[in-house]
Amino acid sequence: MPELPEVETTRRGIAPAVVQQRIVDVKVRERRLRIPLTPDTERAVLGQWIQAVERRGKYLLIALERGVVLVHLGMSGSLRLVAVDTPPRRHDHVDLVLGNGRCLRFHDPRRFGLVHWIESPAEAHPLLCHLGPEPLSEQFDGQVLYQRAAKRRCAVKTLIMDSRVVVGVGNIYANEALFLAGIDPRRAAREVSIEQYQALAERIRQVLSAAIEQGGTTLRDFVREDGNPGYFAQALRVYGRDQKPCVICGAPIVQTRIAQRATYFCTQCQH
DNA sequence: CACAAGACCTGGCAGC
DNA sequence: TGCTGCCAGGTCTTGT
């Protein structure tokens, strides 16, 4: 699913329709999410006005008058805006029914995602308080990566996917950014130079920004708030391209596994 | 502290 | 047409 660009695409899609709306009903069809959805969430949320829709890493924060609804899309989740009378489909677990006759509907076949109400301040919540900087903010650069890499023998790919180091970089965009930066994903994090980390940080920002502009990457599950896919999949240079020619040098892209995750790279272009 | 591996789930697909 | 096994965009927890 959803890495940062898909979550940001969802945020931008739903915000105009839900901000300044009142939650007039909450329908829960499945409580067994990553965090079980308890009745106090419904009780707390009902009748409140939505103030804003923000994002922290891959979490969506629906800010209410009192507290915040945290939404995470896990691997297979999506949020859609539908008319109130739209019949639910399989795996449509939660509806927030709004005063304007629309409904924010959470769908997640694998149930790795969550919908969870918390009291403010959200930043202090255990799910959010250890998160690293936002990759598209001023707080993030090559220096941050280099410092955090200091004692770490894990692969550089694993480092940039660690949400305590930087948020939002999932498996697809980690592969893509390392390709664009010309860095072998298997390299030990502490062996990578500051110059290379500066290039890598720049490429992470670039690939995430480009993906947001395209509405994210749809491989199978992800849909935008209007039910349409994102279009960045066609721009992927290495992810999913095992044995296909490198777009730079033509050598076959190689697939391997790093920390249990599919990893794609060009042995000619990445060192 | 750093790291690897397992756990959580369902659905889609390849191969037999 | 089944059935089986493997794979998938993400974290969190456990054990070394």
Tokens standing for residue A129: 């308080």
Instruction: State the catalytic residue, choosing from A31, A186, A205, A261.
Output: A261
Q: Tell me which nucleotides of strand B come within 7 A of a protein CB.
A: 1-6, 8-12
CA distance A60 to A74: 11
Tokens standing for residue A26: 């909450």
Helix (H, G, I), strand (E, B) or coil at A177: helix
What are the pLDDT digits (tens) for A53-84? 999 999 999 999 999 999 999 999 999 999 99
Ordered DSSP codes for A63-129: EESSSEEEEE-TTT-EEEEEETTPPPPTTEEEEEEETTSEEEEEE-TT---EEEEEPSPGGGSTTTT
What are the pLDDT digits (tens) for A179-236? 999 999 999 999 999 999 999 999 999 999 999 999 999 988 889 999 999 999 999 9
Considering only CA atoms, name the residue closest to the C1' of nucleotide C7: A262
CA distance A201 to A173: 12
Percentage of residues in chain A having pLDDT higher than 90: 96
Q: What is the pTM of this model?
A: 0.97
User: Which nt is closest to the CA of A162, judged by C1'?
Assistant: C11
* Partner residues linked to A105 by β-bridges: A80, A95
Mean pLDDT of chain A: 96
Active site residue A152: no
Instruction: State the catalytic residue, choosing from A55, A56, A58, A157.
Output: A58
Q: Are the CB atoms for A120 and A142 separated by under 8 Å?
A: no
| CA–C1' A124–B3 (A) | 26
